[in-house]
Structure formats: structure tokens, C-alpha cells
Amino acid sequence: MAGMSVTVACGQKSPARIVVNGDSVFWTNEIPGVIVSTASRAGGAPRTVAVGNVPAFGIAVDETTVYWTEPTAGKVMKVARSGGQPVTVASGLDSPLHLVTDGANLYWTAGRRRPNEPDGGEPDASEPDGGPPDGGPPDGGQGESGSIGMVSLRPNSKSVTLLSGLSRPNGIVVDDQAIYWTDLGDGTVSKLMREPGGRAFATAPVRLADGGRQPGDLASANGQLYWTDQAGQVWHASRDGGAPVVVASGQGTPSGVAADEQYVYWTAVTDGTVMRAPARGGAATVVADGQDEPYFIAVDDTT
């Protein structure tokens, strides 16, 4: 049975990624104007964090600062949590999308976006099998241009490309062992290991899963990775490798995914539901229903 959902903020214009940090919820908007907002996770009037003339998408937050991507402008930006004048962290990027931080650096997936993917990775209805209708390469025949980027949070740092030549990298997470990502184009989940000492990364990725149908969002908890795909499935696999396992199937366009010590949570866009299942397997149950096309999701220690 679904629980009672509480509206944290209403009247938003095309909200995209969402994160919870402390007692606050932060999210981006994909329409110019108020592009980053925040509200108490208990609800109340939302507050503007940043205003801009281009859409925002990926978001990461630490104790003092909010960071976000601007795919159409090719930038990663930042501003104080209290708001103020946004500052460019990295520019000249190729459509940076999803964004994460490990406290020392920012990491993002990037690569040329198609016109029918304004939010950085919704499924293309004209490509039911995860590839273009003409059977050509997933990136439209222009070569694999996807990449993983990074910039240090130290002042005056320059962004670097950690890995290039990917297809369409999408969801991304990071921990003390590696960076992990999904790839919409080639149907894989991969990782790039940290070198001993943790400050540098290997040059060759390690594939953790393949053969997927447009794997999308990605989450990590308990040494496991969790992701959604456009075959209506939610998966998990060890971050150290091993055969992926289906958590749930038959979901209505699963999109966002989050996880904690007990459960994995996901949104089902066409079903209008938020779902959960035991993190290591078990029956899926409805957390909230009657939602208007829920896309992305975040979880904290209580909600």
C-alpha cells in the first residue's frame, strides 16, 4: 500500500535532478530563470539559489556550496548554498550532464546530446531497442564522443578529461575505490578505478555489465550499484564485479534510482509511482502513487 506523499515544493518549471543535504532539498530546473532552488525537506516555501539564462541539469551539494551543470552552455557552475552570484567552475565542456562530488573533486558525464533529449537522458520513443531507427551507431554516426570529466575543488583548478571515446555516458556515482557510470549508447555499466593513494585514476575502464537496454540513472550503497533501464527493469550488481541481478521488472519506464542500507528506490514515469524493494532482492512495493511523471529521486536517512 502506498504511503502518503508530502509536497516539498510546487509550481516548479521542469525540475530535473534532486539531492538531499542535511535538512534541505536542492534541485535544478531545465528552463531558464530560476535554475537552482532549495526547500526544507519538511516542506515550506522554496527559495531561489541561482538564476540563469540557460537550463541546469546535474546537481551536487556540500556543506557550503551548490554545484550544477549547464549542458547547453557547456559549463559546470557553483554558488553558495545561501545564494548569490554564480561562478563558473569549468567551461568549454561537451554537454556536461550528471554531476557528483567526493568532497575533493567534481565529476560529470558528458557528450553530445540529441535534440530529443532535453533533460540529459530521457528515453527516445523512436528507438525502442536503445539504438537509432536506421540501425546506425547510437551517436548518429559521428563517432563516440562521450567522456568523464573532473575538476578539483581547489581554487583556480582546471578541468580534465579522465576518459573519452565513450558512447553516451549518463548516470554517475563515485566512492573511495572508483568512478562508476552507465552508458545509454552501448548498454553498459563500467568503472574507472582509483590508483593507490586515491588521487589519480587508471586509464582503462572495467566493464561491470553489458547488453542492457539504455541503462539510465545510477546509485550506490552497501558495496552495490543499482540502475534502471528502458526494458522496464531495475538492476543491482557488486561494485567489485559479478553477474548483475534483476531487482524488479515490468516497471513503467523506470528512471531515477536511489538506495540506502535497506532498500533501493526508483521512479516509474509512465506508472506515476515511486517504488522500493529490499536492496538484496524481494518484492517491489509502492511508496507513492498518483505522481505526475516522476523522473529523479533522492533519499536521506529518514525519507
Q: Give pLDDT tens digits for 156-178.
A: 999 999 999 999 999 999 999 99
pLDDT band at 303 (very low <50, low <70, confident <90, very high): low
What's the full length of the chain, in residues? 303
In 3-state terms, what secondary structure has residue 53? Answer: coil
Tens of pLDDT, residues 16-65: 999 999 899 999 999 999 999 999 987 778 999 999 999 999 999 999 99
Whether the pLDDT of residue 139 is over 60: the answer is no
Identify any residues that bridge with 105 across adjacent strands, giving them in sequence order: 152
pTM for the predicted model, two decimal places: 0.88
Rounded Cα distance, 34 and 56, in Å: 9
State the Cα–Cα distance between residues 205 and 163, nearest whole angstrom. 8
Inter-residue contact 187 to 208 (CB < 8 Å) = no
Smallest CA-to-CA distance from 187 within 246, 245, 156, 231 is with 231
Q: Provide the terminal-to-terminal Cα distance of the chain, rounded to the nearest Å.
A: 16
Tens of pLDDT, residues 179-220: 999 999 999 999 999 998 878 899 999 999 999 999 999 999
Q: What is the mean pLDDT of residues 226-254?
A: 95
Average pLDDT estimate for 143-160: 91
Torsions phi, psi for 247 (to 5 deg): -85, -45
Q: Cα dist. 303→217, 219, 277, 280, 297 in Å?
A: 19, 16, 15, 19, 11
Grid cell for residue 282:
524481494
